Chains A and B, each alone.
Chain A
């Protein structure tokens, strides 16, 4: 058996050892350095004196999909100071970061939330020199390109909110500087989920979300900024609404979208708009809905209940989203040093290996590789069929041997992102119109 049986929480040592064994297999000296940093056994964290930092507590605030208690436990163990996770929801996150900045040390929010945090001056720049693996960070964030091609700039693309003018800057800088707004974190490409047992014909377009064939059996998410993007992808694919830039709709485009949605709603097209992850799982698992906007762990959750569910790759492409970790302005001295230690740890592999099992990608994939089995790496990143059962971060079985990840490899997915999660300039107007849709 090549698969690790232990849960990730207590697997740091074997994984580190494995990293060493595997060194020979990795190409390039830089990658070796990355693995070495990732392995406590070799260099060890932290590099600042343990005596001075042991009383430090770093508060990591974020949403539940990336702010996971196991990560804090492992980090505290590896780093010698305490990392604490404070979990909240999206609006709670921006509210806390902007109105109670002192209560947050590192802010782990969505890329697009930089639009809300940076101009309000609550952050300080991340000095890229101090991030050892900065050169290894995926160019999706740092250069705005992927696999040699520029990524979509529609919506809030990671690159356009990546850099600051200066450490205390409150304006984004177009192009790389040595001050980053965030340490790139987890990210993913979202699409529609469907029940292949209940829809037997192939589905290959977002247009199917508004196809009358599925009347009463579809759902979209009720988070206005994201829901409208899913709707727009579908409406554009169906030829009902045309957008100049979907990620930055004009009032007219918003109106057209909402009118189309209201019309669909009046025709009974949507079974529901879902508000929680949990609802999306239940709707799908119960068969009340056969195609809907969905998040990747929700698809997994439906499957783990023994119901067929597919995160279906669509020809129009994916809606991308990602997270980044920002440093709060009040950090200074030893605490700031500790925060940098933590950021470096974050990219060093354990976290990447952990979060991959939740279906998300990490900004430095090659270090994560050392913390995954070959089979897991093949399944999650390369789109290969699993040779053994695939387990989730807590060690429960998620997929049986032979299963393949929907959408194929990392490369396949990220070269097809067409729009990023966003806040539009017309956000106020859009919210208002979305309420019209709700009350219609």
Chain B
């Protein structure tokens, strides 16, 4: 343990104060409000009424719908996590270990970021000319003669939802993994190679262990993003799939804040448990402290 002088401690609190204030005002207070409202009663005519009942939670937890919504949401999260981890790891590895010029690496990152500067809404719409029944891919497939009938499941399907998630979220896996890898001392890799370690051993015994905090953080991002989404599932799913947040959106439409609030609290707990599990496997904050 580092000896913490008062000056050092003071500096720490000073450094963390802006974050604390911002999160307190814009997260903690609204969260307290959400939690409070989730105990209210709801009547369609007069709306949410102050109360202290557990009905909303009981309803959320006992509803058969909830199970299928969480089933759908978790399934998406698991598949998207696996895919983005695979793609993200190799892209990050390429950028960190094969691109030797920092400027080029930044340039390539920007290349990957530019599509995100076009609004999500537009980008989702633009999948249709590509994946629709009369879209480019179907025309190409039929042109080559692979299929005779246009493939329908390309759009408005779970496939489309997953494709769109991977498209949108892989970057969130790449960035933390890249940053972890960038901190790996190249001499370690050299040393391992000089000691006769093969590619596989270098990968499993040097690179993966040393980039695990990036992997863990990327996983947190992707899981949180997938489980918190409603837009992709609504637009790309063509109403054929739903997830927890898209159901919440309908609650909000009829101003049923108590139910939406309870739903949000349950989701928060579930995802926090997943994050805690990830942190159990890789304690990111301990990695920070290890620096010393």
Contacts and interface: CB of A to CB of B under 8 A. Distances in A.
B242 A273 contact: no
A275 B240 CA distance: 11
Given A94-B255, A282-B132, 15 more contacts: A120-B46, A120-B47, A225-B253, A272-B155, A272-B239, A273-B240, A275-B234, A278-B125, A279-B128, A279-B235, A282-B125, A286-B132, A425-B44, A438-B246, A439-B68
Contact of B239 (A222, A278, A288, A428): A222
Given A273-B238, A279-B235, A288-B133, A439 B252 contact: no
Pairs A-B, 3 closest by C-beta atoms? A273-B239, A272-B238, A222-B239
B134 A431 contact: no
Nearest to A223: B253
B47 A435 contact: no
Interface of B: 42, 44-47, 63, 65, 68-69, 72, 125, 128, 132-135, 152, 155-156, 234-235, 238-242, 246-247, 249-256, 259
A42 B155 CA distance: 57
Interface string A429-440: 001101110110
B235 A432 contact: no
Interface string A281-319: 010001110000000000000000000000000000000
B151 to A, nearest CB: 12
A435 B239 contact: no
Contacts of B249: 91
B247 A435 contact: yes
A98 interface: yes
A271 to B, nearest CB: 7
Given A119-B45, A286-B132, A427-B44, A438 B241 contact: yes
Contacts of B44: 115, 423, 425, 427-428
A248 to B, nearest CB: 12
B65 A439 contact: yes
Contacts of B238: 271-274, 279
B128 A286 contact: yes
Range of interface residues on A (Cβ < 8 Å): 35 or more
A431 B250 contact: yes
11 contacts: A98-B47, A120-B46, A270-B240, A271-B156, A272-B156, A279-B238, A286-B128, A431-B254, A432-B65, A438-B239, A439-B68
Given A91-B253, A431-B251, A286 B133 contact: yes
A211 interface: no
Interface in A70-114: 90-91, 94-95, 98
A43 interface: no
Chain A CB within 10 Å, residue with most, of B132, B238, B242: B238
A276 B239 CA distance: 11
A272 B253 CA distance: 21
Chain B CB within 10 Å, residue with most, of A98, A225, A431: A431
Contacts of A436: 65, 68
Chain A CB within 10 Å, residue with most, of B47, B156, B251, B259: B156
Interface of A: 90-91, 94-95, 98, 115-116, 119-120, 216, 222-225, 265, 270-276, 278-279, 282, 286-288, 423, 425, 427-428, 431-432, 434-436, 438-439
Contact of B152 (A90, A98, A216, A423): A216
Contact of B72 (A98, A222, A276, A439): A439
A274 B250 CA distance: 15
Given A222-B234, A428-B42, A116 B242 contact: no
Nearest to A288: B133
Contact of A287 (B63, B134, B235): B134
Contact of B242 (A98, A288, A427, A435): A435
A330 B250 CA distance: 29
B69 A439 contact: yes
Contacts of B128: 279, 282, 286
Given A272-B240, A274-B238, A435 B125 contact: no
Secondary structure of the A contact surface, majority rule: helix
A139 B144 CA distance: 61
Contacts of A223: 253
A119 B247 CA distance: 25
A435 B69 contact: yes
A250 to B, nearest CB: 15
A262 B158 CA distance: 17
A95 B47 CA distance: 12
A128 to B, nearest CB: 25
Given A275-B239, A439-B242, A288 B134 contact: yes
Nearest to A428: B256
Nearest to B247: A435
A49 to B, nearest CB: 40
A428 B65 contact: no
B255 A116 contact: yes
Contact of B255 (A98, A270, A276): A98
Contact of A428 (B47, B242, B252, B259): B259
Contacts of B134: 286-288
B13 to A, nearest CB: 35
Contacts of B72: 439
Nearest to A222: B239
Contacts of B132: 282, 286, 288
Contacts of A434: 250
Nearest to B63: A432
A216 B46 CA distance: 41
Contacts of A272: 155-156, 238-240
Nearest to B44: A427
B254 A423 contact: yes
Contacts of B235: 275-276, 279
A322 B96 CA distance: 58
A214 B241 CA distance: 22
Nearest to B134: A286
Contacts of B152: 216, 271
Contacts of A265: 240
Contacts of B255: 94-95, 98, 116
Chain B CB within 10 Å, residue with most, of A224, A274, A279, A438: A438
B242 A438 contact: yes
